[in-house]
Amino acid sequence: MSKQQPHKARKRFGQNFLHDHGVIRRIVACIGPKKGQRIVEIGPGKGALTEGIISVTERMDVVELDRDLIPILKVNLFRFPELTVHEADAMKFDFASLSTPEQAIRVVGNLPYNISTPLIFHLLSQANAIEDMHFMLQKEVVDRLAARPGDSLYGRLSVMAQYYCSVESLFIVGPESFDPAPKVDSAIVRMTPHKSLPYPVNDIKMLEDMVRIGFQQRRKTLRNNYKGVLDTDDFSALNIDPTLRPERLDVEDFVRITNYILKKEG
């Protein structure tokens, strides 16, 4: 077999390869894979995390966009015939197609910083097919996902992620654990979709719109942001103070606003 050429991380794919074995072991321990589970990894790279998981599960699906990495991955993990490689863009991939009524999928990955937020929204739209998600993300993104009402980073991403999931920030990973080293800290997050939504909304697109409008000008009050949408009587009926800023509202408040508007509009 000819010697493999080293693969240089590609900026356009947002590649930073995890090489710290201590961190890899810690991530695998947090995931807690079990034999027979359907685990799907996004952006496996050269298979560092993949190997730690598939050694337990004995089968695995991975979604990789960089076609030059796929032969390297297959060589590195040749001992695992039950590795299924999907050469695809995770932003367009149908993750739900890998689940069954009897078995939801578990999703893991070291997500590219440049697409992490839209990719999370893509996965949230398929949350009913997912048991849980464990991701390596830029620390600030994890802080935003896990932020609580009143926190400076609490915003649209926090509300929508927490509508679908419980969110736990697990631990921080420094730049030295990657090649090439990113300029910022990373963190591991666990997102567990709710078995049944604690605050179900009657129209998810309307909720997304209401959250977006609410945070469009986060330094302004709810009265200003929802001008033309909610009046003084509406705020009174909702028992929400219109002089508050949007970061003071929790998920339930945004759901109540949305369902109220839907009912009002008939």
Q: Residue ranges for the binding site?
A: 16, 18, 43, 64, 89, 110
Are the beta carbons of 135 and 108 closer than 8 angstroms?
yes
Say what angle helices 139-146 and 116-124 make with each other, to 10 degrees.
Answer: 40
Q: How far apart are CA 236 and CA 255, in angstroms?
A: 16
Q: The dihedral of CA 125, 129, 133, 135: what is its sign?
A: negative
CA 260 and chain centroid, separation: 28
Going by the annotation, the residues of the binding site for S-adenosyl-L-methionine are 16, 18, 43, 64, 89, 110
Task: Give the length of the chain.
Answer: 266
33: CB partners within 8 A, 6+ apart = 39, 53, 56, 57, 106
Lookup result for tokens 């960089």: 66
How far from 122 is each of 27, 28, 208, CA to CA, in Å?
Answer: 23, 24, 13
Query: Treating both helix axes as pointing N-terminal to C-terminal, what angle do 116-124 and 156-164 enclose, rounded to 10 degrees?
Result: 30
Structure tokens at 256: 């109540």
Instruction: Decide: residue 22, CB within 10 A, 0-12 exposed, 13-18 middle, 19+ buried.
Output: exposed
The terminus-to-terminus CA distance of the chain in angstroms comes to: 69
C-alpha dihedral sign at 70, 130, 173, 12: positive
Contact 210, 264 (CB under 8 A): no
